[in-house]
Amino acid sequence: MPTDPVPQMMEAIRLWSGVTSPNQAAQRGLADLAALIAEFEAVRGTLVFEDEPSSFEAALREEAEKRA
């Protein structure tokens, strides 16, 4: 039988961040994360081992419009 992940997530947030659920809407927000997990599953495997965050600023400059 599947376990409701929301209580586990609430406990993890309390443990890691010291933040407790402020209201019912927050718990609803946790439940909605299932959609995000599914979206990440869909793009799994696209991250290349050598990719690193610092490449973004370099990409901005490389992709800039070349002046005539």
By CB under 8 A, name the binding residues for another protein: 9, 12-13, 16-26, 28-30, 32-33, 36, 39-40, 42-43, 46-48, 51-53, 55-65
Neighbours of 21 (CB within 10 A): 16
Shortest distance, position 10 Cβ to another protein, whole Å: 8
Shortest distance, position 7 Cβ to another protein, whole Å: 12
In the bound state with another protein, the residue whose beta carbon lies nearer, of 4 and 57, is 57
